[in-house]
Structures are given as C-alpha cells and as structure tokens.
Amino acid sequence: METTIINKTSFNEERGNCLEKQNAAIFISLGKKETEVDRTFLNEVIKALWRSKKTLVATGAGISVSAGIPDFRSENGLYNLVKERYPKVIMKGKDLFDANVFRDINSSQVFFSFMAELKLLIDKATITPTHTFIKWLEEEKKLLRCYTQNIDCLEKKLNMNSQLDKKSKNVNKIVQVHGDMDYVFCVICRANFDFNQEVIDIFKGGKAPSCSSCELKSEERERSGRRGLKEGFLRPNIVLYNEHHTNGELISEFISHDMRRKPDLMIVIGTSLKIVGMKNLVKEMAKKVHEFKNGKVILINKIELGKEWEEVFDYIILADCDQACTKLKNGYKIYNEQVIKELQAKENKKPSKTKNKNSNANLKFKMVKSTITVQKTKLFQTPLGGNIKESPAALLNNGI
C-alpha cells in the first residue's frame, strides 16, 4: 500500500481520523495498536533521521523509568510517593522540590532523607536503550546537543560529556538544565563536593552536612582576631521550583550557540513538558528546526500532551521510549544498508570510462553507451513495511 502525504495533511482510514490542519501532527502508535499506516509514517521518521546532520534531543524523566528511577507525575511517580510517605509534612509531592522547603525544619528533614533514598536509586540504575540511542546519535556524528531535565547523570555512564563551560560548547553533548545528583554544594559559599556515601549517611538522618570550606575560612578569620563567618550547609546540586539555575547564563549561551548552528531535526523523549522553562525551550528550538526545508520535530511519549503541541510536532509517537528508540535505530541501520546497496548497484551499472588507444574499442564503447536507457523510479520497500516513491539513491542525489 502506497501512502502519499501532502504537507502534513493526511487521512487515516484505519483510525477514522482526519488531520485537516496543514500543521497538524501525525500520530504514530507502536506495539499492539500498531497498523500498516503507523509503520509507513514511522518510515518517514526514519528517513528524517537518516537525512539529519544536526539533531537536537530533549529528554525527561520518562527515559529513566526502565532504569529503576521513578518519574515525577505518573501514578507511581515521585510526587505521589512523597505524599504517601510523608502525609503529615508534605501537602503535595511537588512541595518537596520547591525552594521554600528549607524554611521549615520538618519539611527540610524530609527533603534530605528523601534525597538520600533517591541518590541510592540513581547509583543502582543502569543505562536504558533510550540512553544508548542518544549515545549512538553522537557516534553517528548526528547529535548536536541533548538537553535533559534529568538529574540522574546516566549519560555519564556512556562517557558522554556534560561539562558546562564556555570552552566545551563544541565538545559537550549533554546539558543538564535541572542540575545533577553527582554533587552537593554550599548554600552560602557555593563550593562543590562529591555526593558520596558520607553525605548520603548524613542526609538519611534528615540532616545536612556543614560546609568544610566555610569552616576553614571562618577559622582563618578567627585566628587573625577577626569575627568568624556564617557557615553554610550542603544540599544536592539540583534546581528546585522558584529558584534559578546557578549556570543559567551559561546554558543560555549554549542554546544560542546551537540555534546559530541551524539544527535540522529535534527529538523530544519522555517528558510531559510541564516545566515552563523547558516548554519554552522546546517551542523555540522547534521554530528554528522548521526554518530548515526538511526540518522535522518529533515527540516520543506514552501519553499525548494536549492540543497546543500538535502544531509544534510533526510526528507524535505514542509508545514506550525504549521501544520507539530501538525501532528508530534498527530501522535506520536497515535503511542505510539499502542506500549503500542501491548506490553500489548504480555504480556497477556505469560503463567504464577508461580510454583505449584501439579505435575499434572506442567505437564499441560508444555503441554500448548509446544503448543505455534510464530506468524508471521504482517504489522503494522501506525497512519496516510501506513504500516510499523514491529509491535511496534518488534521495541521496536530491540532497534529502
């Protein structure tokens, strides 16, 4: 079955769903609800990935659920877990991740003990197929940058650079927009320390470690006869609600840098996009990608996000993150192999252009050349079923 798509308008007879708006997203279901139409549209996503040279990725907590780390907003997420565990202290799970949590002794104790538990979960977590997919994009020289809301630092287990400094803009592939759980910092002097077992043990008791850097500075002043300084306590290096990222300006520079590099594809994975900052970032980057002639913006998520996003995304894949990323990666490899075979076959059909001094040989070459006919374009069988009305070689020659 051949499916033709003009702009982004399509009629899906199997679902009885007409996408009349020119900029309406195309929904793709995978798994049990997957249809032939879904596979055809998925092939278009694979084709867009194959074309891309500068891919932006944005990720949320959904990509780490299979690693053993709960997300925030689902039924079994962190917000509900906190509310169930500390009903007398925490009114809403979200309150535990608010900067105001330190104003109350009881809520701050809950915060520190919960951070110790979360840190232990993170340390035990293993990388997922989705993390492997992002690493594969880097290896294929396609990944421009990955902006992640996650604080678990699982990308580091794949040796992906997340260093934030002005010199690393062309090297660092991971930007952690909400901080990380690898470090703790002092609320006064901002000194960083490893989030090690000693810190975990203190957090477990609902307390915060004192800052050794502040202590040293205060002792030095006291030895010189001056008044000691106020000493701070340590907290996880994460961004809470109602506070700014300590590296906010630097992250803004990274974003501007990436915008100037003209990204041609964006993949958003495993996020509800409820956080205003990330929500705005995705929308701005989507506009930049759509400035590119064949630029596409793709969402991979288990649930729909609402009508406002249907004009932002070109394709919305409703599926498990790991399942979708594995299909994209495998489909890409199959497609790429077929492209190579098609090009090799085309190259083998070309007549030899080696000149021969023998005039009869030249005459024979001319006769052979004159009999060559141009083949008509055939429907190309795509990796996961469905047809595309261009061969891989034609796509390559057209600069797609």
**CB neighbour list of residue 144: distance below 8 Å, 6 or more residues apart:** 54, 55, 56, 258, 261, 263
**CB neighbour list of residue 95: distance below 8 Å, 6 or more residues apart:** 101, 107
DSSP state of 312: T
Q: Is 189 annotated as a binding residue?
A: yes
Of 131, 178, 257, 290, which one is the catalytic site residue?
178
Q: Is 214 annotated as a binding residue?
A: yes
Q: Is 153 annotated as a binding residue?
A: no
- Taken in order 209, 214, 216, 220, is the CA torsion positive or negative? negative
Helix (H) / strand (E) containing 156: none
Distance CA(18)–CA(79), nearest Å, equals: 37
Considering only CA atoms, which of 46, 34, 35, 44 is closest in space to residue 325?
46
Q: Is 321 annotated as a binding residue?
A: no
Active site residue 290: no
Helix (H) / strand (E) containing 137: helix 129-139
Question: Which DSSP string do the residues of 30-99 spell out, in sequence order?
Answer: -GGG--HHHHHHHHHHHHHHHH-SSEEEEE-GGGGGGGT---SSSTTSHHHHHHHH-TTT-SSGGGGGBG
Considering only CA atoms, which of 50, 117, 62 is closest in space to residue 85?
117
Angle, alpha carbons 164-176-266 (nearest 5°): 105
Sequence letter at residue 32: K
Sequence letter at residue 378: K
Quick check: 1 and 36 in contact, CB under 8 A?
Answer: yes
Annotated binding site: 186, 189, 211, 214
Positions marked active-site: 178
Annotated binding site for Zn(2+): 186, 189, 211, 214
